[in-house]
Structure 1
Amino acid sequence: MATLVFDGDCGFCTTCVRFVERRMRTRARIVAWQFADLARLGTTSERARHELLWIEGDRTYGGAQAVAELLIDAGPPWSPLGRALRVPPLRWAAHALYRLVADNRHRLPGGTPACAARPARRDRLTPGPARKSG
């Protein structure tokens, strides 16, 4: 059985998963990474924080390819789109779109500051404390 691992602290991700549960027929077990046995699933919290994961047996798909596997598993009318997302150049475009959404999910409907996958740009540019020379 497949497992779909998502960020349960992210309102945007949780909203997307609720859509999947209401509108798609998937055989996957859906679990927030915060409640998953990641070691048993063969992944890490770092990866789970970074992207949606589709784990089936010894294969792990992340990001846009996890979405593609979910769509294929859900059957018609979703599966043709999932198959298309596996093939370049759509695969490349899906990856770019996934990263854009994932990196900005805190700005999307349902998103909160907890959804931020990484610090905001201004935080990265803020200088740290002055260093004393020795």
Structure 2
Amino acid sequence: MIKGMNRHSGRSIIDDIQLPAHLFQSMHDILTTLKGTRLCRRNYGSLVPDLIDQPCNEITQLQIMNASASGIIEFEPRVKVSSVMVSGFKDQVGYWEVTISGQYHAFNGVQKFNQPFSLGRTV
């Protein structure tokens, strides 16, 4: 069993049914950290934060899909990404829903997951 700490509360992480909490936290951190902002790990993160305020159109959706998949593939070796779906809301500028599907390695074998992430401004 992998133990971890919640980055907001400092308490132990309790695994979720859908995706283990430590993986969810790691993937969310990768998606919300802009590349070049970590001092000792300049390449860590993704380009998603740069794309959050872009127009809500198909081009931006494709760019967010690419940036999300690239970041997770590069920095989370426990996860194999099979698809990324992005939806933006024209009436809520700067808010994107990114759903990542794939597999992760668990102690009892490979498990599938389908996890949504809310990125951008809060609603």
Tell me the TM-score normalised to structure 2 length.
0.28
- Bigger radius of gyration, 1 or 2? 1
Q: Which has the higher helix share?
A: 1
Q: Which has the higher strand share?
A: 2
Higher relative contact order (CA 8 A, sep 6+): 1
Tell me the TM-score normalised to structure 1 length.
0.27
